[in-house]
């Protein structure tokens, strides 16, 4: 595709429910990142995928958060038993190889509101 796409654009859920957020990276990009942006804050790294390597999960805030990347392309971020503090914009980015200085292209984000 022309750019990174994410779905849904907005998600409202009730506390305790599970949610799945989807990211379609730029075709051919092997590196994929998830970031979280809380209201009025900068972006916080969550997880990184590179090709078929084991993902770097060091930024995930709790074991309620998980992500997978199928076939080296589409990625899904899952939040189980959502809490109100999970409300944020979840942004996905991709780059060609994940190397230093490579431009990371961001999607428009999914705005998650947990009631």
Partner 1 sequence: GQQLNQSPQSMFIQEGEDVSMNCTSSSIFNTWLWYKQEPGEGPVLLIALYKAGELTSNGRLTAQFGITRKDSFLNISASIPSDVGIYFCAGQVEETSGSRLTFGEGTQLTVNP
Contact status: 35 vs partner 1 (CB under 8 A) = yes
The mark string for 42-71 relative to partner 1 (x by CB under 8 A, - otherwise) is xxxx--x-x-----x-xx------------
- Do 45 and 39 meet the contact criterion of CB atoms below 8 Å apart? no
The total number of residues written for the chain in this structure: 115
Q: Which of 69, 107, 112, 114 binds partner 1 (CB under 8 A)?
A: 107
Q: Which of 1, 2, 14, 40 binds partner 1 (CB under 8 A)?
A: 40
State CA 46 to chain mean position distance.
7
Residue 24 makes CB contacts below 8 A (sequence gap 6+) with 1, 4, 5, 6, 73, 74, 107
Q: Which of 26, 72, 73, 108 binds partner 1 (CB under 8 A)?
A: 108
- Do 70 and 52 meet the contact criterion of CB atoms below 8 Å apart? no
Pairing between strand 110-114 and 10-13? parallel
Identity of the residue, 26 or 80, whose beta carbon is nearer to partner 1 in the bound complex: 26
Binding residues for partner 1, per CB under 8 A? 4, 31, 33, 35, 40-45, 48, 50, 56, 58-59, 91, 93, 98-104, 106-109
């Amino acid at each position: 595709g022309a750019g990174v796409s994410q779905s849904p654009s907005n998600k409202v859920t009730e506390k305790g429910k599970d949610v799945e957020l989807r990211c379609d990276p730029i075709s051919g990009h092997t590196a994929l990142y998830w970031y979280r942006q809380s209201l009025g804050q900068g972006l916080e790294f969550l997880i990184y995928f590179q090709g078929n390597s084991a993902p770097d999960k060091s930024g995930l805030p709790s074991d309620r958060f998980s992500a997978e990347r199928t076939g080296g392309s589409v990625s899904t971020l899952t939040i189980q038993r959502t809490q109100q503090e999970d409300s944020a914009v979840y942004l996905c980015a991709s780059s060609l190889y994940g190397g230093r200085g490579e431009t990371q292209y961001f999607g428009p984000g999914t705005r998650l509101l947990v009631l």
